[in-house]
Amino acid sequence: MSNFKKHPLYPAESAPLFIAAGPLKEPAQLRPFMRIVDPAAAPLLTLGGFTMNEWAGNGEPDFDYDPVRRAAGNSRGLPNGGKEAIIALKHPIRHLTQLGIKTIIQVTNLPHESPLDVIPGLVEIALESEPTAVEINFGCPNGKTADGSFHPPLYREPGACGEVLDVVRQRVGHEPCIVIKDGPHTDSPSVMPDEMSVRRLVNAVAQYADAVVGINTIAAQDFPELTKTGGKGGMSGPIVAGVAKEHARLWQKYAPDMPYMSVGGIDSNNAEYEIPERMAMPNVIRVGGAQEFYRSNNMRNLAVSWAVAAV
């Protein structure tokens, strides 16, 4: 981690943890963190993901947790308040920054939108709210076929990801901290990420990105309770831990100078050993999660418990 000490997202003296994108999208959800006794216990919050226009998502039921498989299923479909919701975060972010809590705003495109048409503008809007960094989510579907099925997520198209990032840098320059969210590069929690697929993405985006977050959910897994999406959802939870760690290892192999923030597969039951194991990887600067925070009635206290487990 010594090579990354000057990076804006480096944890310094705080716990090397963060809440990943998904659970936090509104100012009211941030108020408990503004009252936290020790901000170092919840040092980095990801807000979003956000799209250009308000979006209702797929409707409920949109989340399921299977305790037998230790697997979470997400079919929410990016419900969010659009660019107006990003603008509404400016004052809460300023307050959090004063407390010493860093923030990331995640942006992405909707399935029917061209990433090039919306993501550069969203990055500009997000930067106006003055977060520590902006994260571009390449793990979401980027269009539909004629029969209504989704194209593969954008991370499966490295050239397109590089093109989006090139336009983003032309628009905002190289000073802002731009993070990318990568997908798992596999279609099953029992199959490790495809090494060449990861390598191709690294080659396309490394010159533009300041950090990477991995992994996004494993798409289109079986969750019968998710009836709005035909019993399918993106998989997270402890079941994906092996995939997440192999993904981090591959990014270290092909982009050793890229700071990596590891998510996927961590909860309160395994944090005591999963967090130290990932932090021992030379490229990992932080470890985080989303699905357990989404299930929690008190995200602030859950963050504190993770921080204790990390000690």
Decide if 25 is inside a domain: yes
Q: Which domain holds residue 134?
A: 2-55+86-222+234-310
Domain membership of residue 80 (yes or no) is no
pTM of the model: 0.95
Task: Write out pLDDT tens, residues 134-170.
Answer: 999 998 754 445 565 656 789 999 999 999 999 999 9
Q: What is the pLDDT of residues 240-281, one digit of tens each?
A: 999 999 999 999 999 999 999 999 999 999 999 999 999 999
Please, what is the Cα angle at 17 between 158 and 239, to 5 degrees?
65
CATH for 39: 3.20.20.70
Quote the CA–CA distance of 11 and 182 in Å, as a whole number: 21
The verdict on residue 140 lying in a domain is: yes
d(CA 139, CA 15): 26
Rg (CA), the chain: 18
- Cα separation, 1 vs 11, in Å, equals 10
Q: What is the pLDDT of residues 64-119, one digit of tens each?
A: 999 999 999 999 999 999 999 999 999 999 999 999 999 999 999 998 888 999 99
Question: φ and ψ at 80, to 5 degrees?
Answer: -165, 165
Instruction: Give the count of domains, the chain.
Output: 1
